[in-house]
Structure 1
Amino acid sequence: MSVREVELPGCDRALTVHQADTGSEVLADDAGAVVWDSALVLIHYLAKLRQQQAQREPARPRGVPLAGARVLELGAGTGAVGLAAALLGAARVLLTDRPHLMGLLNQNIEANALGGSVAAVPYEWGGPLPDAAGFEGGFDLVLLSDLVYEPATLGPLVGTLAMLLGGSGGGGGGTAAAEANGGAPHAAAGPGSGGAGAGGGPSVLVAVELRTDTGVAQFVRALVQRGYYVERVPGEELNDDWRDDDIWVFVVRRQR
Protein backbone atom coordinates (compact mmCIF):
# COMPACT_ATOMS: atom_id res chain seq x y z
CA MET A 1 0.00 0.00 0.00
CA SER A 2 1.04 3.59 -0.60
CA VAL A 3 -0.29 6.84 0.85
CA ARG A 4 -1.44 9.78 -1.23
CA GLU A 5 -2.06 13.29 0.10
CA VAL A 6 -4.60 15.39 -1.81
CA GLU A 7 -4.70 19.13 -1.15
CA LEU A 8 -8.24 20.53 -1.10
CA PRO A 9 -8.63 24.17 -2.18
CA GLY A 10 -10.37 26.13 0.54
CA CYS A 11 -9.78 23.44 3.17
CA ASP A 12 -7.22 23.76 5.95
CA ARG A 13 -6.22 20.10 5.85
CA ALA A 14 -5.25 17.61 3.16
CA LEU A 15 -7.02 14.36 2.37
CA THR A 16 -5.00 11.25 3.22
CA VAL A 17 -5.69 8.19 1.07
CA HIS A 18 -4.20 4.71 1.41
CA GLN A 19 -4.25 2.98 -1.97
CA ALA A 20 -2.87 -0.12 -3.68
CA ASP A 21 0.53 0.06 -5.31
CA THR A 22 0.74 -0.39 -9.07
CA GLY A 23 1.06 -4.08 -9.84
CA SER A 24 -0.20 -5.24 -6.45
CA GLU A 25 -2.52 -8.24 -6.20
CA VAL A 26 -5.24 -6.03 -4.72
CA LEU A 27 -5.16 -3.67 -7.69
CA ALA A 28 -5.01 -6.54 -10.16
CA ASP A 29 -8.23 -7.91 -8.69
CA ASP A 30 -10.03 -4.64 -8.08
CA ALA A 31 -9.68 -1.29 -9.84
CA GLY A 32 -11.36 0.39 -6.85
CA ALA A 33 -8.24 0.16 -4.69
CA VAL A 34 -6.55 3.20 -6.24
CA VAL A 35 -7.41 6.88 -6.74
CA TRP A 36 -8.08 7.44 -10.45
CA ASP A 37 -7.95 10.77 -12.26
CA SER A 38 -11.73 11.07 -12.53
CA ALA A 39 -11.94 10.97 -8.72
CA LEU A 40 -9.45 13.82 -8.49
CA VAL A 41 -11.41 15.87 -11.03
CA LEU A 42 -14.61 15.32 -9.03
CA ILE A 43 -12.91 16.09 -5.70
CA HIS A 44 -11.62 19.41 -6.99
CA TYR A 45 -15.01 20.22 -8.50
CA LEU A 46 -16.58 19.64 -5.07
CA ALA A 47 -13.99 21.97 -3.53
CA LYS A 48 -14.81 24.64 -6.11
CA LEU A 49 -18.55 24.25 -5.47
CA ARG A 50 -17.97 24.58 -1.75
CA GLN A 51 -15.99 27.79 -2.21
CA GLN A 52 -18.75 29.21 -4.42
CA GLN A 53 -21.42 28.22 -1.92
CA ALA A 54 -19.52 29.89 0.91
CA GLN A 55 -19.55 33.13 -1.07
CA ARG A 56 -23.15 32.95 -2.26
CA GLU A 57 -25.14 31.44 0.60
CA PRO A 58 -27.92 30.39 0.51
CA ALA A 59 -27.64 29.91 -3.27
CA ARG A 60 -26.35 26.55 -4.48
CA PRO A 61 -24.38 26.45 -7.74
CA ARG A 62 -26.25 24.04 -10.04
CA GLY A 63 -28.40 23.12 -7.06
CA VAL A 64 -25.77 20.68 -5.75
CA PRO A 65 -25.72 20.71 -1.94
CA LEU A 66 -22.55 20.08 0.05
CA ALA A 67 -22.35 22.00 3.33
CA GLY A 68 -24.36 20.09 5.91
CA ALA A 69 -25.40 17.46 3.35
CA ARG A 70 -26.01 13.75 3.82
CA VAL A 71 -23.84 12.14 1.16
CA LEU A 72 -23.72 8.65 -0.36
CA GLU A 73 -20.79 7.43 -2.44
CA LEU A 74 -21.41 4.40 -4.64
CA GLY A 75 -18.48 2.22 -5.65
CA ALA A 76 -16.32 4.22 -3.28
CA GLY A 77 -13.14 2.15 -3.66
CA THR A 78 -10.65 4.07 -1.51
CA GLY A 79 -13.41 6.44 -0.39
CA ALA A 80 -11.44 9.46 -1.60
CA VAL A 81 -14.40 11.38 -3.06
CA GLY A 82 -16.74 10.81 -0.14
CA LEU A 83 -14.02 11.59 2.39
CA ALA A 84 -13.24 14.81 0.54
CA ALA A 85 -16.93 15.73 0.76
CA ALA A 86 -16.76 15.25 4.53
CA LEU A 87 -13.68 17.45 4.84
CA LEU A 88 -15.44 20.08 2.73
CA GLY A 89 -18.43 20.31 5.05
CA ALA A 90 -20.83 17.41 4.46
CA ALA A 91 -22.56 16.49 7.71
CA ARG A 92 -22.70 12.72 7.17
CA VAL A 93 -21.13 10.51 4.52
CA LEU A 94 -21.85 6.86 3.76
CA LEU A 95 -19.22 5.03 1.68
CA THR A 96 -20.34 1.86 -0.10
CA ASP A 97 -18.59 -0.83 -2.11
CA ARG A 98 -18.12 -4.58 -2.16
CA PRO A 99 -17.37 -6.37 1.13
CA HIS A 100 -13.67 -6.99 0.50
CA LEU A 101 -13.01 -3.22 0.28
CA MET A 102 -14.44 -2.42 3.72
CA GLY A 103 -11.01 -2.76 5.34
CA LEU A 104 -9.46 -0.18 3.00
CA LEU A 105 -12.41 2.19 3.41
CA ASN A 106 -12.27 2.00 7.20
CA GLN A 107 -8.51 2.50 7.12
CA ASN A 108 -8.98 5.74 5.17
CA ILE A 109 -11.80 6.91 7.44
CA GLU A 110 -9.46 6.45 10.41
CA ALA A 111 -6.52 8.09 8.61
CA ASN A 112 -8.60 11.26 8.23
CA ALA A 113 -10.08 11.14 11.75
CA LEU A 114 -13.60 11.13 10.30
CA GLY A 115 -15.09 8.24 12.25
CA GLY A 116 -17.73 10.51 13.77
CA SER A 117 -19.22 11.59 10.44
CA VAL A 118 -18.27 8.90 7.89
CA ALA A 119 -19.25 5.23 7.81
CA ALA A 120 -18.64 2.39 5.35
CA VAL A 121 -21.06 -0.44 4.54
CA PRO A 122 -21.01 -3.15 1.86
CA TYR A 123 -23.45 -2.70 -1.00
CA GLU A 124 -24.01 -4.44 -4.33
CA TRP A 125 -25.68 -2.32 -7.03
CA GLY A 126 -29.26 -3.26 -7.74
CA GLY A 127 -29.88 -4.61 -4.24
CA PRO A 128 -31.97 -2.99 -1.49
CA LEU A 129 -30.57 0.43 -0.62
CA PRO A 130 -28.03 0.44 2.24
CA ASP A 131 -29.48 0.94 5.69
CA ALA A 132 -27.27 2.88 8.09
CA ALA A 133 -27.82 4.92 11.25
CA GLY A 134 -28.00 8.64 10.60
CA PHE A 135 -29.35 8.31 7.06
CA GLU A 136 -32.97 7.41 7.78
CA GLY A 137 -34.12 10.56 5.98
CA GLY A 138 -32.30 9.67 2.79
CA PHE A 139 -29.47 11.45 1.00
CA ASP A 140 -28.97 14.96 -0.34
CA LEU A 141 -26.06 14.13 -2.64
CA VAL A 142 -24.90 10.93 -4.36
CA LEU A 143 -21.37 10.65 -5.76
CA LEU A 144 -20.06 8.29 -8.46
CA SER A 145 -16.54 8.31 -9.83
CA ASP A 146 -15.21 6.15 -12.67
CA LEU A 147 -17.92 3.52 -12.33
CA VAL A 148 -19.10 3.59 -15.94
CA TYR A 149 -16.45 1.46 -17.61
CA GLU A 150 -18.02 -2.00 -17.78
CA PRO A 151 -21.29 -2.13 -19.78
CA ALA A 152 -22.41 -5.33 -18.04
CA THR A 153 -22.74 -3.49 -14.72
CA LEU A 154 -24.77 -0.55 -16.02
CA GLY A 155 -28.19 -2.13 -15.46
CA PRO A 156 -27.73 -2.66 -11.70
CA LEU A 157 -26.08 0.76 -11.33
CA VAL A 158 -28.94 2.57 -13.09
CA GLY A 159 -31.38 0.53 -11.01
CA THR A 160 -29.77 1.77 -7.81
CA LEU A 161 -29.85 5.38 -9.01
CA ALA A 162 -33.53 4.99 -9.88
CA MET A 163 -34.25 3.78 -6.33
CA LEU A 164 -32.35 6.75 -4.90
CA LEU A 165 -33.88 9.34 -7.21
CA GLY A 166 -37.42 8.02 -7.04
CA GLY A 167 -40.12 9.12 -9.49
CA SER A 168 -38.93 10.96 -12.58
CA GLY A 169 -41.68 13.54 -12.29
CA GLY A 170 -42.81 13.63 -15.87
CA GLY A 171 -41.60 10.61 -17.79
CA GLY A 172 -39.07 12.60 -19.79
CA GLY A 173 -40.68 16.02 -20.04
CA GLY A 174 -39.16 16.70 -23.45
CA THR A 175 -35.73 15.46 -22.37
CA ALA A 176 -33.47 14.35 -25.21
CA ALA A 177 -30.02 12.73 -25.16
CA ALA A 178 -27.65 14.46 -27.56
CA GLU A 179 -24.56 12.54 -28.51
CA ALA A 180 -21.30 13.86 -29.88
CA ASN A 181 -17.63 12.98 -30.21
CA GLY A 182 -18.02 9.51 -31.65
CA GLY A 183 -21.03 8.46 -29.63
CA ALA A 184 -20.11 9.89 -26.23
CA PRO A 185 -22.99 11.74 -24.58
CA HIS A 186 -22.67 15.51 -24.61
CA ALA A 187 -25.75 16.41 -22.59
CA ALA A 188 -29.30 15.49 -21.89
CA ALA A 189 -31.58 18.21 -20.64
CA GLY A 190 -35.21 19.07 -20.18
CA PRO A 191 -36.30 22.56 -21.25
CA GLY A 192 -36.58 25.05 -18.43
CA SER A 193 -35.49 22.51 -15.87
CA GLY A 194 -33.41 24.77 -13.67
CA GLY A 195 -30.72 23.54 -11.31
CA ALA A 196 -30.10 20.01 -10.18
CA GLY A 197 -32.24 18.91 -7.30
CA ALA A 198 -35.10 21.21 -8.27
CA GLY A 199 -37.42 18.25 -8.82
CA GLY A 200 -36.91 16.71 -5.38
CA GLY A 201 -34.74 13.78 -4.36
CA PRO A 202 -30.97 13.88 -4.15
CA SER A 203 -28.59 15.47 -6.62
CA VAL A 204 -26.19 13.02 -8.27
CA LEU A 205 -22.69 13.89 -9.48
CA VAL A 206 -21.09 11.42 -11.87
CA ALA A 207 -17.47 11.64 -13.05
CA VAL A 208 -16.53 9.42 -15.99
CA GLU A 209 -13.40 8.93 -18.05
CA LEU A 210 -14.13 8.39 -21.73
CA ARG A 211 -12.60 5.12 -22.87
CA THR A 212 -13.34 2.86 -25.83
CA ASP A 213 -16.68 1.04 -25.46
CA THR A 214 -17.16 2.05 -21.84
CA GLY A 215 -20.92 2.43 -22.10
CA VAL A 216 -21.06 6.10 -21.11
CA ALA A 217 -23.57 6.91 -23.85
CA GLN A 218 -25.60 3.83 -22.89
CA PHE A 219 -25.57 4.94 -19.23
CA VAL A 220 -26.85 8.42 -20.05
CA ARG A 221 -29.52 7.06 -22.40
CA ALA A 222 -30.76 4.68 -19.72
CA LEU A 223 -31.20 7.54 -17.25
CA VAL A 224 -32.88 9.78 -19.81
CA GLN A 225 -35.25 6.99 -20.83
CA ARG A 226 -36.37 6.77 -17.21
CA GLY A 227 -37.23 10.47 -17.35
CA TYR A 228 -34.29 11.87 -15.38
CA TYR A 229 -32.55 15.14 -16.14
CA VAL A 230 -28.88 14.65 -17.09
CA GLU A 231 -26.54 17.53 -17.83
CA ARG A 232 -22.83 17.64 -18.49
CA VAL A 233 -21.00 20.23 -16.41
CA PRO A 234 -19.11 22.50 -18.85
CA GLY A 235 -15.36 22.08 -18.63
CA GLU A 236 -14.86 25.73 -17.74
CA GLU A 237 -16.88 25.19 -14.55
CA LEU A 238 -14.46 22.54 -13.29
CA ASN A 239 -11.25 23.33 -11.44
CA ASP A 240 -8.84 24.99 -13.87
CA ASP A 241 -5.95 22.76 -12.77
CA TRP A 242 -7.97 19.56 -12.50
CA ARG A 243 -9.88 18.92 -15.69
CA ASP A 244 -9.30 16.89 -18.83
CA ASP A 245 -11.05 16.61 -22.17
CA ASP A 246 -11.56 12.88 -21.56
CA ILE A 247 -13.03 13.25 -18.06
CA TRP A 248 -16.60 14.50 -17.88
CA VAL A 249 -18.81 15.34 -14.92
CA PHE A 250 -22.59 15.00 -15.10
CA VAL A 251 -25.37 16.23 -12.83
CA VAL A 252 -28.38 13.92 -12.60
CA ARG A 253 -31.68 14.70 -10.89
CA ARG A 254 -35.41 14.17 -11.05
CA GLN A 255 -37.43 16.33 -13.40
CA ARG A 256 -39.71 18.96 -11.92
Structure 2
Amino acid sequence: MSSSTSFYAQILHDADEMVSVEDAEEEVCDLYSVYYSRDSHDRLDLVDPGKTELEIEIEGGKRSFVVTIGQNPNINGELGQTGAVLWNSSVVMSEYFARKSYSSWNLADLNIVELGSGCGLVGLTLHRLGARRTVLTDQPRMMKLLGRNIDRNRVSAVSKRDKTTEVLATEYVWGALPEDQEVLREPVDMVVASDCVYHESVAPLLVSALVDVCRSRSTSEAGGRTVGVIGQELRSDLVHQAFVAQLLEHFVVRRAPVSESVDRVYALYFVWLRE
Protein backbone atom coordinates (compact mmCIF):
# COMPACT_ATOMS: atom_id res chain seq x y z
CA MET A 1 0.00 0.00 0.00
CA SER A 2 1.18 3.54 -0.70
CA SER A 3 2.03 5.84 2.18
CA SER A 4 -0.98 8.03 1.30
CA THR A 5 -3.42 5.17 1.97
CA SER A 6 -5.02 5.42 5.42
CA PHE A 7 -4.74 2.47 7.78
CA TYR A 8 -8.54 2.14 7.74
CA ALA A 9 -8.43 1.82 3.94
CA GLN A 10 -5.66 -0.77 4.23
CA ILE A 11 -7.82 -2.85 6.58
CA LEU A 12 -10.88 -2.59 4.35
CA HIS A 13 -8.70 -3.92 1.54
CA ASP A 14 -8.07 -7.04 3.67
CA ALA A 15 -11.66 -7.38 4.90
CA ASP A 16 -12.56 -10.22 2.53
CA GLU A 17 -10.07 -12.43 4.40
CA MET A 18 -11.81 -11.77 7.73
CA VAL A 19 -14.89 -13.22 9.42
CA SER A 20 -17.68 -10.72 10.04
CA VAL A 21 -18.78 -11.03 13.68
CA GLU A 22 -22.46 -10.17 14.11
CA ASP A 23 -23.52 -12.09 17.23
CA ALA A 24 -21.49 -12.77 20.38
CA GLU A 25 -23.11 -16.13 21.13
CA GLU A 26 -22.52 -17.42 17.60
CA GLU A 27 -18.92 -16.19 17.73
CA VAL A 28 -18.25 -18.08 20.95
CA CYS A 29 -19.86 -21.24 19.55
CA ASP A 30 -17.61 -21.05 16.48
CA LEU A 31 -14.42 -20.40 18.46
CA TYR A 32 -14.95 -22.73 21.39
CA SER A 33 -16.16 -25.74 19.39
CA VAL A 34 -12.57 -25.82 18.11
CA TYR A 35 -11.03 -24.70 21.41
CA TYR A 36 -12.54 -27.54 23.43
CA SER A 37 -11.45 -30.15 20.87
CA ARG A 38 -7.80 -29.09 21.01
CA ASP A 39 -5.01 -30.80 22.92
CA SER A 40 -5.07 -29.50 26.50
CA HIS A 41 -1.39 -28.51 26.18
CA ASP A 42 -2.14 -26.09 23.31
CA ARG A 43 -1.97 -22.81 25.20
CA LEU A 44 -0.03 -19.60 24.68
CA ASP A 45 0.57 -18.85 28.37
CA LEU A 46 3.71 -17.09 29.71
CA VAL A 47 7.02 -16.92 27.82
CA ASP A 48 9.40 -17.38 30.78
CA PRO A 49 8.16 -15.78 34.02
CA GLY A 50 11.33 -16.56 35.98
CA LYS A 51 13.67 -14.31 33.99
CA THR A 52 14.11 -10.60 34.52
CA GLU A 53 15.13 -10.01 30.89
CA LEU A 54 14.18 -11.74 27.63
CA GLU A 55 15.49 -11.50 24.07
CA ILE A 56 12.43 -11.99 21.82
CA GLU A 57 13.02 -12.67 18.13
CA ILE A 58 10.12 -11.32 16.08
CA GLU A 59 9.74 -13.37 12.90
CA GLY A 60 8.21 -11.43 10.03
CA GLY A 61 8.57 -13.91 7.20
CA LYS A 62 11.91 -13.45 5.44
CA ARG A 63 13.03 -10.83 7.98
CA SER A 64 13.29 -10.79 11.75
CA PHE A 65 14.55 -8.61 14.57
CA VAL A 66 15.09 -8.88 18.32
CA VAL A 67 13.24 -6.91 21.00
CA THR A 68 14.75 -6.88 24.50
CA ILE A 69 12.09 -7.08 27.20
CA GLY A 70 12.59 -6.64 30.92
CA GLN A 71 10.11 -8.29 33.30
CA ASN A 72 9.20 -7.81 36.94
CA PRO A 73 8.03 -11.20 38.26
CA ASN A 74 7.81 -9.76 41.79
CA ILE A 75 4.70 -7.66 41.07
CA ASN A 76 2.98 -10.09 38.69
CA GLY A 77 -0.31 -11.19 40.22
CA GLU A 78 -0.49 -8.34 42.73
CA LEU A 79 -4.04 -6.97 42.79
CA GLY A 80 -4.77 -8.67 39.48
CA GLN A 81 -1.60 -7.36 37.83
CA THR A 82 -0.68 -9.67 34.92
CA GLY A 83 1.31 -7.37 32.65
CA ALA A 84 4.64 -7.38 34.47
CA VAL A 85 5.69 -10.58 32.69
CA LEU A 86 5.53 -11.40 29.00
CA TRP A 87 2.78 -13.57 27.53
CA ASN A 88 3.09 -15.53 24.28
CA SER A 89 -0.10 -13.86 23.04
CA SER A 90 1.94 -10.65 22.71
CA VAL A 91 4.53 -12.50 20.63
CA VAL A 92 1.73 -13.79 18.36
CA MET A 93 0.37 -10.27 17.81
CA SER A 94 3.85 -8.79 17.29
CA GLU A 95 4.76 -11.36 14.65
CA TYR A 96 1.42 -10.82 12.91
CA PHE A 97 2.17 -7.09 12.70
CA ALA A 98 5.68 -7.82 11.40
CA ARG A 99 4.40 -10.11 8.65
CA LYS A 100 1.79 -7.57 7.58
CA SER A 101 4.25 -4.69 7.69
CA TYR A 102 6.78 -6.52 5.54
CA SER A 103 4.15 -7.69 3.02
CA SER A 104 1.40 -5.10 2.61
CA TRP A 105 0.84 -2.60 5.42
CA ASN A 106 2.46 0.83 5.56
CA LEU A 107 2.95 2.02 9.14
CA ALA A 108 5.22 5.00 8.45
CA ASP A 109 2.59 7.73 8.91
CA LEU A 110 0.63 6.12 11.73
CA ASN A 111 -0.08 7.46 15.21
CA ILE A 112 -0.63 4.36 17.38
CA VAL A 113 -1.84 3.97 20.97
CA GLU A 114 -1.51 0.69 22.86
CA LEU A 115 -3.82 0.01 25.81
CA GLY A 116 -2.64 -2.22 28.64
CA SER A 117 0.89 -2.39 27.27
CA GLY A 118 2.31 -4.53 30.09
CA CYS A 119 5.98 -5.13 29.26
CA GLY A 120 5.48 -3.26 25.98
CA LEU A 121 6.43 -5.89 23.38
CA VAL A 122 3.59 -5.12 20.94
CA GLY A 123 4.03 -1.35 21.03
CA LEU A 124 7.81 -1.63 20.77
CA THR A 125 7.42 -3.96 17.79
CA LEU A 126 5.27 -1.35 16.03
CA HIS A 127 7.92 1.25 16.86
CA ARG A 128 10.64 -0.97 15.40
CA LEU A 129 8.49 -1.49 12.29
CA GLY A 130 8.58 2.26 11.63
CA ALA A 131 5.35 3.70 13.05
CA ARG A 132 5.62 7.49 13.20
CA ARG A 133 4.42 7.68 16.81
CA THR A 134 3.70 4.88 19.27
CA VAL A 135 2.24 5.59 22.72
CA LEU A 136 2.39 2.77 25.26
CA THR A 137 -0.09 3.07 28.12
CA ASP A 138 -0.79 1.20 31.35
CA GLN A 139 -1.38 1.65 35.08
CA PRO A 140 0.97 3.87 37.12
CA ARG A 141 2.87 0.92 38.63
CA MET A 142 3.94 -0.21 35.14
CA MET A 143 5.55 3.08 34.07
CA LYS A 144 9.03 2.34 35.39
CA LEU A 145 9.20 -1.05 33.62
CA LEU A 146 7.78 0.38 30.40
CA GLY A 147 10.26 3.26 30.50
CA ARG A 148 13.20 0.87 30.85
CA ASN A 149 11.95 -1.29 27.98
CA ILE A 150 11.54 1.77 25.78
CA ASP A 151 15.14 2.77 26.54
CA ARG A 152 16.31 -0.75 25.62
CA ASN A 153 14.62 -0.65 22.20
CA ARG A 154 14.29 2.95 21.08
CA VAL A 155 15.10 3.39 17.39
CA SER A 156 17.28 6.41 16.70
CA ALA A 157 17.29 5.88 12.94
CA VAL A 158 14.68 7.42 10.66
CA SER A 159 11.85 5.51 9.05
CA LYS A 160 11.31 4.70 5.39
CA ARG A 161 10.33 8.21 4.26
CA ASP A 162 12.99 10.02 6.29
CA LYS A 163 10.53 10.71 9.08
CA THR A 164 11.60 10.24 12.67
CA THR A 165 9.90 7.62 14.80
CA GLU A 166 8.74 8.42 18.32
CA VAL A 167 7.86 6.11 21.22
CA LEU A 168 6.72 7.10 24.70
CA ALA A 169 4.77 5.78 27.68
CA THR A 170 2.06 7.41 29.76
CA GLU A 171 -0.38 6.38 32.48
CA TYR A 172 -3.87 5.49 31.30
CA VAL A 173 -6.28 4.02 33.84
CA TRP A 174 -9.36 2.90 31.90
CA GLY A 175 -12.39 4.92 32.83
CA ALA A 176 -10.34 8.10 33.27
CA LEU A 177 -8.44 10.35 30.88
CA PRO A 178 -4.78 9.55 30.17
CA GLU A 179 -2.33 11.38 32.43
CA ASP A 180 -0.91 13.02 29.30
CA GLN A 181 -4.07 14.26 27.59
CA GLU A 182 -2.07 15.20 24.49
CA VAL A 183 -2.24 11.47 23.69
CA LEU A 184 -5.80 11.87 22.40
CA ARG A 185 -5.52 15.36 20.92
CA GLU A 186 -3.82 14.05 17.79
CA PRO A 187 -6.06 11.71 15.78
CA VAL A 188 -5.13 8.08 16.41
CA ASP A 189 -4.86 5.75 13.42
CA MET A 190 -4.59 2.45 15.30
CA VAL A 191 -5.35 1.47 18.89
CA VAL A 192 -4.00 -1.89 20.03
CA ALA A 193 -4.81 -4.14 22.99
CA SER A 194 -3.09 -7.48 23.54
CA ASP A 195 -4.73 -10.07 25.80
CA CYS A 196 -6.18 -7.59 28.28
CA VAL A 197 -9.43 -9.33 29.29
CA TYR A 198 -8.98 -11.92 32.04
CA HIS A 199 -12.20 -11.25 33.94
CA GLU A 200 -15.69 -10.15 32.93
CA SER A 201 -15.37 -6.96 34.99
CA VAL A 202 -12.51 -5.75 32.78
CA ALA A 203 -14.47 -5.93 29.52
CA PRO A 204 -16.60 -2.75 29.89
CA LEU A 205 -13.58 -0.73 31.00
CA LEU A 206 -11.51 -1.80 27.99
CA VAL A 207 -14.40 -1.22 25.58
CA SER A 208 -14.96 2.24 27.05
CA ALA A 209 -11.27 3.09 26.59
CA LEU A 210 -11.37 1.80 23.00
CA VAL A 211 -14.38 4.01 22.27
CA ASP A 212 -12.65 7.06 23.78
CA VAL A 213 -9.50 6.56 21.70
CA CYS A 214 -11.44 5.84 18.51
CA ARG A 215 -13.40 9.07 18.94
CA SER A 216 -10.13 10.99 18.71
CA ARG A 217 -10.55 10.88 14.94
CA SER A 218 -13.60 12.25 13.15
CA THR A 219 -14.93 9.98 10.40
CA SER A 220 -14.88 12.98 8.07
CA GLU A 221 -11.10 13.35 8.37
CA ALA A 222 -8.89 12.30 5.48
CA GLY A 223 -7.42 9.42 7.48
CA GLY A 224 -10.80 7.74 7.90
CA ARG A 225 -11.72 5.86 11.05
CA THR A 226 -9.50 4.79 13.92
CA VAL A 227 -9.01 1.02 13.76
CA GLY A 228 -8.77 -1.09 16.90
CA VAL A 229 -6.73 -4.30 16.81
CA ILE A 230 -7.47 -6.62 19.73
CA GLY A 231 -5.78 -9.95 20.35
CA GLN A 232 -7.18 -12.30 22.97
CA GLU A 233 -6.15 -15.76 24.11
CA LEU A 234 -9.24 -17.94 24.53
CA ARG A 235 -9.88 -18.89 28.14
CA SER A 236 -13.37 -18.59 29.64
CA ASP A 237 -16.14 -18.76 27.04
CA LEU A 238 -18.44 -16.68 29.27
CA VAL A 239 -15.89 -13.90 29.65
CA HIS A 240 -15.14 -13.90 25.92
CA GLN A 241 -18.84 -13.78 25.03
CA ALA A 242 -19.41 -10.83 27.37
CA PHE A 243 -16.45 -8.99 25.84
CA VAL A 244 -17.54 -9.56 22.24
CA ALA A 245 -21.12 -8.55 23.07
CA GLN A 246 -19.90 -5.24 24.47
CA LEU A 247 -17.65 -4.65 21.47
CA LEU A 248 -20.63 -5.19 19.16
CA GLU A 249 -22.62 -2.48 20.95
CA HIS A 250 -20.20 0.14 19.60
CA PHE A 251 -18.08 -1.39 16.84
CA VAL A 252 -18.08 -3.18 13.55
CA VAL A 253 -16.11 -6.33 14.39
CA ARG A 254 -14.04 -8.53 12.06
CA ARG A 255 -11.97 -11.56 13.10
CA ALA A 256 -8.75 -12.14 11.15
CA PRO A 257 -7.03 -15.50 10.68
CA VAL A 258 -3.53 -15.78 12.17
CA SER A 259 -2.48 -19.40 11.61
CA GLU A 260 -4.18 -22.79 11.85
CA SER A 261 -2.48 -23.69 15.12
CA VAL A 262 -2.85 -20.29 16.79
CA ASP A 263 -6.50 -19.85 15.76
CA ARG A 264 -7.45 -22.79 18.01
CA VAL A 265 -6.55 -20.81 21.12
CA TYR A 266 -6.52 -17.15 20.05
CA ALA A 267 -8.77 -14.56 18.40
CA LEU A 268 -7.58 -11.43 16.59
CA TYR A 269 -10.19 -8.74 16.01
CA PHE A 270 -10.22 -5.57 13.92
CA VAL A 271 -12.86 -3.07 15.03
CA TRP A 272 -14.03 0.43 14.14
CA LEU A 273 -16.89 2.57 15.43
CA ARG A 274 -20.33 2.06 13.93
CA GLU A 275 -21.82 4.99 12.04
| TM-score normalised to structure 1 length | 0.73
SS of equivalent to 1:40: helix
Letter matched to residue 215 of structure 2: G
Contact 2:232 2:266 (8 Å CA) reproduced: yes
2:19 is matched with which residue?
A: none
Q: Structure 2, unaligned stretches of length 5 or more?
A: 1-50, 157-164
Contact 2:192 2:230 (8 Å CA) reproduced: yes
Q: Work out whether 1:43 is the aligned partner of 2:62.
A: no
Q: How many residues align?
A: 210
Q: 1:206 is matched with which residue: 230, 249, 273?
A: 230
**Per-residue deviation, 1:6:** 1.8
For 1:120 and 1:28, the matched residues in 2 are separated by 22
Q: CA-atom RMSD, angstroms?
A: 2.8
2:67 is matched with which residue?
A: 15
SS of equivalent to 1:41: helix
For 1:247 and 1:12, the matched residues in 2 are separated by 22
Q: Structure 1, unaligned stretches of length 5 or more?
A: 54-59, 170-197
Contact 2:170 2:178 (8 Å CA) reproduced: no
Residue 200 to residue 129, structure 1, CA distance change in 2 (3 Å)? farther
Letter matched to residue 96 of structure 2: Y
Q: 1:221 is matched with which residue: 224, 235, 245?
A: 245
Letter matched to residue 74 of structure 2: E
1:117 is matched with which residue?
A: 166
Contact 1:69 1:90 (8 Å CA) reproduced: yes
For 2:230 and 2:85, the matched residues in 1 are separated by 18
Contact 1:42 1:81 (8 Å CA) reproduced: yes
Between the aligned residues of both structures, percent identity stands at 32
Equivalence map 1:54-203=2 (5 Å): 60=105, 66-114=107-155, 117-129=166-178, 131=180, 136-166=185-215, 200-203=224-227
Contact 2:171 2:180 (8 Å CA) reproduced: no
Contact 1:39 1:145 (8 Å CA) reproduced: yes
SS of equivalent to 1:5: strand
1:248 is matched with which residue?
A: 267
1:183 is matched with which residue?
A: none
**Per-residue deviation, 1:244:** 4.5
**Per-residue deviation, 1:220:** 1.3
1:177 is matched with which residue?
A: none
**Per-residue deviation, 1:138:** 2.0
For 1:88 and 1:211, the matched residues in 2 are separated by 30
- 1:67-92 deviations in Å (ceiling 9; x for gaps): 33111010001011000000011111
Contact 1:129 1:160 (8 Å CA) reproduced: no
| TM-score normalised to structure 2 length | 0.68
1:176 is matched with which residue?
A: none
SS of equivalent to 2:117: coil
For 1:109 and 1:202, the matched residues in 2 are separated by 24
